[in-house]
Amino acid sequence: MNSPLFDVIIIGSGIGGLVTASQLAAKGAKVLVLESYVIPGGSAGYFQRQGYTFDVGASMIFGMGSQGTTNLLTRALDAVNITLKTIPDDVQIHYHLPDNLDIKVDRDYEKFLQNLIAYFPHEAKGIRRFYDECQKVFNCLNNIELLSLEEPRYLLRVFLKNPLACLGLAKYLPLNVGDVAQRYIKDPLLLKFIDIECYCWSVVPAAMTPMINAGMVFSDRHYGGVNYPQGGVGKIAEKLVTGLERAGGKIQYQARVTKIIIEQGKAIGVELANGQTYHAKTVVSNATRWDTFTKLLPPENIPANEKLWQQRYEKSPSFLSLHIGVKASVLPLGTQCHHILLTDWQEMTAAQGTIFVSIPTLLDPNLAPPGYHIIHAFTPDWITNWQGLSPKEYEEKKEIAAGQIIDRLEAIFPGLDAGLDYLEIGTPRTHRRFLNRIDGTYGPIPKRKLWGLLAMPFNRTAIPGLYCVGDSTFPGQGLNAVAFSGFACAHRIGVDLGVKK
C-alpha cells in the first residue's frame, strides 16, 4: 500500500524546520514533520530532572519582541494564532574578561555605550560610530518583510517599496564586522572586545563574522531585546507544534530518517530506520548540510555546489555543558542572567577557553524548586577530545572537566561547589546523540575569511524537490536566524508549489 502523498516532508523539528512547517501549514499545504527524538526543538528543546526544567541550549532569546519585522519568532507564532508569554531581560550579557574588563550590555543602548566608553574614553567617537553603523544595518532589515531572497517577485516588490533599505543591505552583504570595526576603532584591546562580542554567538572572531548578522544581534538587543519564554525555551517549539497541528499539519516522533528517496534526479520522499517510507512533492532537510549530503544522500553523488560549500565552511566545535541545580544563596545580589567568562585572550577560540553561563531562573523562578536556581554553563569543545575512551575513562574525564569549570565559575559565584544540589554533564558525544548533528557541531563556520554572507547558501539545493533549512543556510546560526531561514524556505516552497492561501 502506498503511503499518502504530502506537499512537504520536513526532516527534523529544530526551530528552522518548525517555522517552515507551520508557515506552510498556515498557507494550506499538507505538511509532515519527522523528528527522531521524543520532543521537538533540537537544541532549543528542554529536559527535566528532580524538579528542574533545563534548556538544552542557550537561554538568550532574540526575535520575541512586539514590533518591527525582525521579531521572527513572534511572527512565526502569530502566523498559527499562538501566543507565548515572555519575560524581558534588562542585560544581554555580563562580560568578565581579561585586563579587568567587567562590562554589562544593557538593554538601553545609550547606557551600554556609556559602560563601554568608561573603559575606553579615548575611543568614545569610534565606539559610537561602529555601533551606530550596526544600527543602520538593523534599520534596513527592520524596514522590510524578511522572506526568500531566492524569489524574484518578492525581491522586486520589496525593492520598489523600500529601495534605500535594500541598497543599504546590499552594501553590507560582502562585509564582515572586522572590516567595519577597524574603520573606527584603533585600540587593540577594544578590538578584542568586538571579537568576543561576535564570538559569543558566531563562534568566530569579528574578521570572519558577517556584518549583516552583527547588525541584527548588536542592535536588536536594544530594540526588541532579549526576552525569555515563560516556562523555558522548549515552549517555543511546543507552541509551534501546537500551531502546526491546529493548521492541519502533522508531526511524528521517534521517526529517524535514514534516506532521502531520489527518483529520476528528484527528491520524492524519505525512508525511516524502520523501513517505512513517506512520499511528498518536496522534501526539506533541517539536518546539517554534512548530514544531509553525506548521510541521507549517497556521498558519491554530492552536487558540485555542495562540495564548494564544504571547501569554504567547516564544522564549528560542539559544547561541553554543565546543567547545575544550586542553592539560591550562592548567587550574589544583582546577578545577571547571562555571563561570559574568559581569563586569557589567547584562549578565546580554544576548546574550553570561553565559558558561557545562563541562569534562566533569575527570569522564571518556576523552572527550579523553591530556594534553588539553575546554572547552565557551557564551553566550546571538540568531539575528538572525547573519543577513544572506555566508559570508565569517559566518566572520569567528564568529572575532571566539570570540576575545572566549577572552579572557574567560583570566581563570580563563590561557594558554588558547596551549594550544588544537582549536576549533569553533557559532552560533544551527548550533543551528537540527542541532537542528531554530525560531531555534535554548533553549525558551520568559515574555514577562512569570506565575503560576508555572500557564500552562505539559500534554501533550494541542486537536487529538484529538495530544500535545506536551519543554520547551514542563509543567514546562519541563532534561533532568530534559523527562524528567518524557515520563513524564507516556506515562502520559496509556497511559490514553487503554487500554495495560494
pLDDT tens digits along 117-143: 999 999 999 999 999 999 988 888 777
Q: What are phi and psi of 178, to 5 degrees?
A: -60, -35
Closest CA to 337 of 27, 51, 6, 55: 55
18 three-class SS:
helix
What does the pLDDT average to over 271-278? 96
**Which residues does residue 88 pair with via DSSP β-bridges, in sequence order?**
227
- 205 cis-preceded (ω within 30 degrees of 0): no
Residues 6+ apart with CB under 8 A from 496: 282
Q: Where are the domains of the chain?
A: 6-48+56-84+229-314+445-497, 117-224, 318-381+387-426
The pLDDT tens digits for 363-391 are: 999 999 999 999 999 999 999 999 999 99
Which pLDDT belongs to residue 172?
Answer: 82
DSSP output for 44-65: G-EEEETTEEEESS-----S--
Which pLDDT belongs to residue 301?
Answer: 81
Contact 63, 219 (CB under 8 A): no
Question: Average pLDDT, whole number, for the chain?
Answer: 92
C-alpha cell belonging to residue 45: 528543546
pLDDT exceeds 70 at position 1: no
CA distance 206 to 91: 22
| CATH architecture type of domain 6-48+56-84+229-314+445-497 | 3-Layer(bba) Sandwich (3.50)
pLDDT exceeds 90 at position 300: no
For the ranges 69-83, 274-288, 321-335, 450-464, the lowest mean pLDDT is seen at: 450-464
C-alpha cell belonging to residue 74: 513572534
The pLDDT tens digits for 60-115 are: 999 998 888 889 999 999 999 999 999 999 999 999 999 999 999 999 999 999 99
For the ranges 248-257, 289-298, 471-480, the lowest mean pLDDT is seen at: 471-480
The pLDDT tens digits for 136-190 are: 888 887 777 767 666 667 666 766 676 776 777 778 888 899 999 999 999 999 9
pLDDT exceeds 80 at position 484: yes
Which pLDDT belongs to residue 34?
Answer: 98
The pLDDT tens digits for 213-243 are: 898 899 999 999 999 999 999 999 999 999 9
Contact 373, 331 (CB under 8 A): yes
Q: What is the pTM of this model?
A: 0.92
Q: What are phi and psi of 9, to 5 degrees?
A: -110, 130
Q: How many CA atoms lie within 13 A of 147 on its CB side?
A: 18
CA distance 389 to 428: 13
CA distances from 280 to 132, 260, 277, 294 (A): 47, 11, 10, 21
**Which residues does residue 176 pair with via DSSP β-bridges, in sequence order?**
210
Residues 6+ apart with CB under 8 A from 37: 45, 253, 254, 434, 436
Which pLDDT belongs to residue 159?
Answer: 67
C-alpha cell belonging to residue 417: 561547589
Contact 205, 173 (CB under 8 A): no
C-alpha cell belonging to residue 185: 576603532
Residue 58 or 96, more confident: 96
DSSP output for 449-485: ---TTTTS--SB-SSTTEEE-STTSTT-SSHHHHHHH
Q: How confident is residue 456, by pLDDT bands cut at 50, 70 and 90?
A: confident
DSSP output for 189-226: HHHHHHHHHHHHHHSS-GGGSBHHHHHHHHHHTTTT-E
Give percent of the chain above pLDDT 90.
Answer: 78
CA distance 10 to 29: 12
What does the pLDDT average to over 458-487? 91
